[in-house]
A and B are shown apart, each in its own frame.
Chain A
Amino acid sequence: MAVIPKFVGERIKRREDPRLVTGAATYVDDLRLPGMLCAMVLRSPHAHAKIISLELEKARALKGVVAVFSGADLKNKIGSVPCVAPADHVPFHPVLAQGKVRFIGEGVAVVVAVAPYLAQDALDLIEVDYDPLEAVIDPEKALEPGAPILHEEFGTNSVTLASVPNPAVEDAMRKADKIIKFRIYNQRLAPVPMEPRGTVAKWDAGYRQLTVWSSTQIPHLLRSQLAEQLKLGENKLRVIAPEVGGGFGAKLNVYAEEALVAYLAMALNRPVKWIERRRENMSGTTHGRDQIAYLEVAAHKDGTVTAVKARFVCDMGAYLQLLTPAIPGFSGLMMTGCYKIPALAFEQQMVFTNKMATDAYRGAGRPEAAYIAERMMDMVAGEFGLDPVEVRRKNFFAKESFPVATAGGLTYDSGDYDRALNKALEMIDYPKARAEQAEARKHGRYVGIGIASYVEICGIGPSSLLPPKLKGGGWESSTVRIEPDCKVTVLTGVSPHGQGQETTFAQLVADAFGIDIDDVNVVHGDTAIVQYGIGTFGSRGTTVGGPALMLSVGKLQDKMRKIASTMMEAPPDQLVFSNRTVALKSDPSKSIALQQVVDAAYGYKQPIPGLEPGLDATSFYEPTNCTFPFGSHVAVVEVDPETGVTKFLRYVAVDDCGKILSPLLVEGQIHGGIAQGIAQALYEEVVYDENGQLITATLMDYAVPKANMLPHYELASTVTPSPVNPLGVKGVGEAGTIGSTPCVVNAVLDALAPLGIRHLDMPLKPEKVWRAIRDARAKG
């Protein structure tokens, strides 16, 4: 019999892929249900306006139209779109606007028709009379006296003012050689998963049961929130996340259309499908970032930083989505980065504006923090004429100091920041790169070397870190079931949508039981099948879902060892699982087939009196801490001074995500992360004009990078296992994004350093760079 290999740590092809590369996968839009209707939403063309009247009759009269509803028609029928994060002012968020619209793209009416072409025809027949109001787009202006107020009931556009004071900061500022002050802006971004959102709902009137298919990262959390909005029991509501075409945080949410479509299916007693179009996605799916920070850094001539103080202004948009006001907190807590900066204080003013809500987007608060920390290090280096590498080394937490408490009150689990940085510098050959840069500068070329050493917070985490209203903590769940034929079913509470846990978890289970990876089937994303789980976000799939899986695996291993021990007359702790057998550790030739143990567990005659039959274990894993992956990225770029275009010469990334279970998948996560981080640094921004019109409403204007706009990535890793979980993993989904944004910005600004250019806000589009060069040259 062939020997079954080990799978963990190997370059395994994904088990998800055959259906995806052949077109056999089922995304929400691929669902076809008998009698299914199409819903389409009419959206506000105004950023801020009163709705005077809606004329729906012409649309209702169109052949093929089944129903048309306005916001007023649905008043008191569907609960508020939820925000679970605490804030001083949480407005009621209707699924369709009631009386007033507050951002471009807000839904005002819904048409349900037998086909999408007809639904669009009907939308064109709806007439809405608006009374436009002055809009407020700039979050700083929104706080000024006399600014238009979005939600009159609060009398202010302030969402909340969060404050983390620290008197030690003032003391450090007094003692510093220099207080470096700067303003930094993380622009507004659109997550743009390639699959837009979509929801299908089906009401079974006989069983009084609702099934909702939605393109979501959080099927169970969605179920809880929808149940509350619709006043249904959670045991009568089934949420299915079918194949999901990317999320990046944008689908870690509960949207107006989800409850709306569910309501329509119940009200009309027909299945209803709503598929988001890209323009709706650009205007009505959560955005990310949009955070201004005013920094004060206490720095010493040797490069030591002793305190950081920040005032943030965070643009929340018009309404609060699921976690909107919770995101900036991570930026504040993490902005000391990899550095033993003893004192930190910050204040965060969160503001309503006439824009789409911001919320989690790949990194969710930590890219902003890393950007601040890494720009800060380069600013300090520039101020005192030091090498940015030296400034970082000077301030790094030493590897001996872990676990280490940070100024933000977190405990970093493990780390070796010097090692990752040194490895990246070796790969790029730092002294040579600097020499080449000096040579290039002599010839008038603008070559820059950018460094970013980041640390981030993953695997969230202890439940105390999540808002209670989420109805789910930071834990994760699993069920492992060994079926009578020795095949294994895994039910996981995480909801992968590209991350590949169908493969990673199968690797872990196969190794644990000594079976083939093909013997394992990983099921996720269906609340009627899978025990309650939290979902996939914050690089938690493997970091929290993995240990949850291993708890159940351990329970079954214990039970099977017990059974085998009676069959083999050997102590349970001497038994190992290998090659589809249970074998004696000291003498593997003494073994019995795994199938025999399974037969015994399921058999009519119980092998051990009192032992429950079956092989099925469910576990819930609560982490004791988050994990803190880290790494260093180095980019070499050249700026064309005539056009402002940035070209990559090299891109090196050394990431440490703890133990690596699937190297190929880790690589993929880092590549994709780097691409999204570069996109923020150079290309992407959501642009609203001063009246709140969305200028970047399509992919004709919002520059998601293409293959020829991104570099070849040179990757390496260091491995510093996390002590937080038994797998030693740290999470990798967001790492690339967090490292690459500051790395690329630092590289471009390093290229421009000879011109005396100290800082430019992202994205570093050609015109901005060209202007900076021109202005700097004019100044001489």
Chain B
Amino acid sequence: MQLNLTINGERREDDVDPRMLLVHYLRDVAGLTGTHVGCETSICGACTVHLDGRAVKSCTVLAMQALGAEVITIEGLARGPAMHPLQQGFWEEHGLQCGFCTPGMIMTAADLLARNANPTDGEIREALEGNLCRCTGYQHIVNAIQYAAKKLREQKAA
């Protein structure tokens, strides 16, 4: 079927099998392999991308459901050569080890910060309900998101 959409600001048009999941479309058709597949049951969140500005698990969305939509993946989050504050935060605060969950973590955190610019640590932990990390024990991830929240607040104030 004909699928038109925008990915990371770029318009695309592809002929896709209707059963193809968005995550497979992004990885195998669009070649954006920063979005990962970590489970089969919509639990781990490694496949999280933004669909029309909101974090979704791209393993639980058909590519066709993104018809006409704007998709942002980890590759397009920064919109420029400099890293997005969340990417900087994960780097600064050692918010990752193996890195496999990281793109999904960052995309979910971006959704959180869009709604709540000044979250508590507890609110961050709740917001990460849909993202599993096996390496970090989460504390550095919480710190990373706080780092980004602060940076984004400063950017907004400036």
Contact = CB atoms under 8 A, between A and B. Distances in A.
Given A195-B98, A244-B98, A672 B90 contact: no
A672 B137 CA distance: 4
A194 B75 contact: no
Interface string B101-119: 1110010000000000000
A698 B31 CA distance: 28
A631 to B, nearest CB: 16
A728 to B, nearest CB: 23
A117 B138 contact: no
Contact of B92 (A13, A277, A676, A699): A13
Interface string A8-50: 0000011011101111111101101000000000000000000
Contact of A195 (B75, B87, B94, B100): B100
B36 interface: yes
Nearest to A275: B37
B100 A245 contact: yes
B22 interface: no
For chain A, what secondary structure do more than half of its interface residues adopt (helix, strand, loop), or is it mixed?
loop
Contacts of B32: 23
A123 to B, nearest CB: 14
Contacts, number: 174
Interface string B130-147: 011111111111100000
Interface string A640-673: 0000000000000000000000001101100111
Nearest to A118: B17
A21 B138 contact: no
B33 interface: yes
Contact of B134 (A32, A248, A698): A248
Given A21-B91, A23-B74, A710-B137, A194 B34 contact: no
B48 to A, nearest CB: 12
A707 interface: yes
B132 A17 contact: no
B137 A23 contact: no
A659 to B, nearest CB: 19
Interface string A238-261: 000001111010000000000000
A394 to B, nearest CB: 32
Given A22-B74, A117-B20, A708 B125 contact: yes
Contact of A675 (B39, B125, B131, B137): B137
Interface string B6-45: 0000000000010110001001000111111111110110
B73 interface: yes
B94 A194 contact: no
Nearest to A18: B91
Centre residue among B20, B78, B96, B137 by max chain A CB count within 10 A: B137
Contacts of B38: 194-196, 278
A665 B94 contact: yes
B140 A245 contact: no
A499 interface: yes
Given A675-B137, A712-B139, A278 B91 contact: no
Contacts of A671: 136-140
A673 B138 CA distance: 11
A667 to B, nearest CB: 7
B99 A25 contact: yes
Nearest to A503: B94
Nearest to B133: A194
Interface in A101-146: 116-117
Contacts of A22: 34, 74-75, 78, 83, 87
A713 B137 contact: yes
Interface in A162-211: 192-196
B40 A704 contact: no
Given A29-B33, A707-B141, A21 B39 contact: no
Centre residue among B102, B106, B140 by max chain A CB count within 10 A: B102
B124 interface: yes
Interface in A670-688: 671-676
B154 interface: no
Interface of B: 17, 19-20, 24, 27, 31-41, 43-44, 46, 73-75, 78, 83, 87, 90-92, 94, 96-103, 106, 121-122, 124-126, 128-129, 131-142
Given A193-B98, A278-B39, 10 more contacts: A14-B91, A16-B99, A22-B74, A22-B78, A23-B35, A27-B33, A698-B39, A698-B40, A698-B43, A699-B41
19 contacts: A14-B94, A21-B102, A21-B103, A24-B34, A29-B33, A193-B100, A194-B133, A243-B99, A246-B97, A278-B41, A499-B97, A664-B94, A668-B140, A671-B139, A704-B134, A708-B128, A710-B137, A710-B138, A712-B139
